[in-house]
Structure 1
Amino acid sequence: MESLRSMIGKRVELELSGCKTLLHGEFIDMGSDVLVLYSKSKYIYTPIHHLQHLRLYEELDNPPMDSSPDSKLDLANISYRKILMNSRGVFTEIYLGGSQSLHGYVTSIMNDYFVYHSPMHQTVYIPVNHVKYLIPYPPNTTPYSLDQKHFPVQPSVVALSRTMDQLLKKLEGQLVVFDLGEHPNKKGLLKSVDENIVQLVLAGGNDNYLHMDHIKSIQLP
């Protein structure tokens, strides 16, 4: 990926699969599976498998940067997994696609998913492959400017499994909400999970079937 590395230090435009808006910023580093942009005093980490295109951002449309990246930031040997590990307990924005971002904290990381606690969405289980980008907030920042005493990070309400398919199997017979409830056919009673096919009973009693790989998040109502 040396040709891509040649773009480091330049201002770029980034399009990600499933992302409604283009990202703009200074391309400051990359690892084997993650890209790092710096924009509006924030670091944006995006898994490289979502990359649709990265190209120079025309100077004419590109206002000057309002600050420079922190030279003390250790970006050596970065990886997506390492970034997730380092984000535990840090107020972070996570975007999964669709119309909204999540704002909260990574609390646990399992084999192929992690647990995220948000004051708006409570406990959310997120497959690692569906994160479009992750943005850590500055130190001592809290979601919605809540006082820390009003924002305890809650433990998961479900005993965690090592993998997402095991977790879904454990949730059989419970009401679930997939993908933050943005689609009416992705919330209902989780009836069964069989070879990655999830059977969901909708409010009217009809069955809906979906492949586990296309579930971006799981919540319990």
Structure 2
Amino acid sequence: MQGGERSYPMIHYLNQPVLVHLSGYPMPLKGNLIDIGSDVIVLHNGTKYMYVPLIHLQFLTRCPSNETDFDMSAEPEPDPIAELSYRKVLSNARGKFLELFLSGHQPAHGYITSIMNDFFLFHSPLYKDLYISMNHLKVLMPYDPGMTPYALKRENFPVMPATSSLARTFEQQLRKMEGQFVVLDLGDSPRKNGVLKSVRDGLIEMVTADGSNAFLHIDHVKSLHRP
């Protein structure tokens, strides 16, 4: 929020320690609320900046004084964004080393390389090209400039652009990958690993290791990558 042009309901909590509960993220986030945008907020917990899309906000409240176990001094954003929004956060983060959470227990580390209508491409040493639905990013945390994933030298892990053209939407991108072996949601279930047989009317059909078919709705798919 730059210059106070807009007023948000949480404005009274700005620069105050807050407790944030997110859907699909088991532990509450704690930190100083240092910026508020139209669909995203920014916290600082004394060591890291946390960009949190509001779509997952269950509730936000003032952090109890006995739980403020972090540096409470006000911290400016490293790269303030005028008229802060989720899409602008993604654009500003492109090419920077990031830690992302799609759920509360399994982070991904790497770089945003492309941003489409409702998904973005994330390049990671562990997962290579990771296609992430914008609807499922819970928390984005930039690393300090100069850091690289797993302490790799930059020449060993350059920021790679997409090697093939990307579709405009997540569903269209999944259709382009029909017939390929894929892993959904970072492999959090055996039934999400297998051959992507088809994507029709929002339903994904997977063929799993035992040859059986499994169906799931695309709205519940957080990410996809090829092993």
2:149 is equivalent to residue 143 of structure 1: yes
Q: Quickly say closer, same or farther: Cα 1:191–1:18, change in 2 above 3 A.
A: same
Aligned residues: 221
Helix, strand or coil: the match of 1:70?
Answer: coil
Helix, strand or coil: the match of 1:74?
Answer: coil
Deviations 1:132-166 (A, max 9, x none): 01011111111111111111223435431111111
Q: Quickly say closer, same or farther: Cα 1:72–1:93, change in 2 above 3 A.
A: closer
Runs of 4+ off more than 4 Å: none
* Residue in structure 1 matched with residue 43 of structure 2 by the alignment: 37
1:1-221 equivalences in 2 (<5 Å): 2-65=8-71, 68-70=74-76, 73-221=79-227
Helix, strand or coil: the match of 1:141?
Answer: coil
The answer to whether the 8 A contact 1:41-1:67 is kept is: no
- Structure 2, unpaired ranges of 5+: 1-6
Distance 1:71 1:153 in 2: 24
TM-score by length of 2: 0.92
Q: Quickly say closer, same or farther: Cα 1:153–1:75, change in 2 above 3 A.
A: closer
Helix, strand or coil: the match of 2:21?
Answer: strand
- Structure 1, unpaired ranges of 5+: none
Opposite residue 185 of structure 2, the aligned amino acid is D
When structure 1 is superposed on structure 2, of 16-25 and 153-162 the one drifting more is: 153-162
When the two chains are superposed, the root-mean-square deviation of aligned CA atoms in Å is 1.6
Identity %: 44
Quote the offset at 1:68 in angstroms: 4.1
Opposite residue 151 of structure 1, the aligned amino acid is F
